[in-house]
Amino acid sequence: MHTDLTTGSINTHLISLSIPAMTGYFFHTMFNVTDTFFAGLISTQALAALSLTASIFFMILAIAIGMSEALTALVGNALGEKNTKRAQHIALNGIVFAFLLSIFLSIFGVLSVPYLVVALGDPSYVQTTLSYINIILYGVMLFIGSFFFNALLNSIGDTKSFRNALMFTSILNIGLNYFFVTQMGYGVEGIAMATIVAEFITMSYLFYKLQKTKLYVGFKEFYFDKDVIKELLKQGFPPSMNMFMMAFGMYIITYFVAPYGKEAVAAFGVGMRVEQIFLMPVVGLGIATLAMVSQNNGAKEFTRIQPIANLAIIFGFAVSTIGIISFFTIGDSIVSLLTNDVLVIQQSVLYLKVCGFGFFGFVLIFIYISTLQGIKKPAVIFPISVYRQVVAPIILFSILAFYKLDILYLWITLVSIIFSAAIYLWWYASKRINQLL
pLDDT tens digit sequence for 325-364: 999 999 999 999 878 889 999 999 999 999 999 999 999 9
Q: Is 406 helix (H, G, I), strand (E, B) or coil?
A: coil
The neighbour count for residue 4, using CB atoms within 10 Å, is 14
Going by pLDDT thresholds of 50, 70 and 90, the confidence category of residue 124 is low
Quick one: DSSP state of residue 389? I
| DSSP sequence for 110-176 | HHHHHHHHHHHS-TTTHHHHHHHHHHHHTTHHHHHHHHHHHHHHHHTT--HHHHHHHHHHHHHHHHH
Is the pLDDT score of 283 beyond 90?
Answer: no
Provide the pLDDT for residue 32: 77
Provide the pLDDT for residue 112: 82
Going by pLDDT thresholds of 50, 70 and 90, the confidence category of residue 278 is confident
Rounded to 5°, angle at Cα 360 from 357 and 363: 140
User: Span 409-432, mean pLDDT?
Assistant: 96
Provide the pLDDT for residue 96: 93
Query: Per the domain annotation, does 4 fall within a domain?
Result: no
pLDDT tens-digit readout, 224-256 = 889 999 998 888 888 888 778 877 888 889 889
pTM of structure: 0.74
Distance of alpha carbon 114 from its chain centroid, rounded? 23
Query: Per the domain annotation, does 18 fall within a domain?
Result: yes
Is the pLDDT score of 1 beyond 70?
Answer: no
Is the pLDDT score of 125 beyond 70?
Answer: no
Provide the pLDDT for residue 121: 55
The domain total for the chain is 1
CA dist list (Å): 49 to 39, 131, 143, 210, 380: 9, 9, 20, 35, 34
Average pLDDT score, the chain: 88
Cα 21 to Cα 286: distance, rounded to the nearest angstrom: 9
User: Span 192-215, mean pLDDT?
Assistant: 93
Query: Per the domain annotation, does 8 fall within a domain?
Result: no
Query: Per the domain annotation, does 67 fall within a domain?
Result: yes
Provide the pLDDT for residue 120: 62
Provide the pLDDT for residue 293: 93
Ranking 140-149, 180-189, 242-251 by mean pLDDT, the lowest is 242-251
338-371 in b/e form (b: 16+ CB < 10 A) is bbebeebbebbbbbbbbbbbbbbbbbbbbbbbbb
Provide the pLDDT for residue 318: 93
Query: Per the domain annotation, does 2 fall within a domain?
Result: no
Ranking 6-10, 30-34, 140-144, 355-359 by mean pLDDT, the lowest is 30-34
Cα 383 to Cα 70: distance, rounded to the nearest angstrom: 17
Q: Which of 373, 278, 281, 389 is nearest to 67 (CA)?
A: 373
Strand boundaries in 174-286, DSSP class E: none
Domain residue limits at 84? 13-436
Distance of alpha carbon 14 from its chain centroid, rounded? 19
Is the pLDDT score of 36 beyond 70?
Answer: yes
Provide the pLDDT for residue 158: 86
Distance of alpha carbon 320 from its chain centroid, rounded? 17
Query: Per the domain annotation, does 109 fall within a domain?
Result: yes
Cα 49 to Cα 255: distance, rounded to the nearest angstrom: 13
Rounded to 5°, angle at Cα 294 from 282 and 381: 60
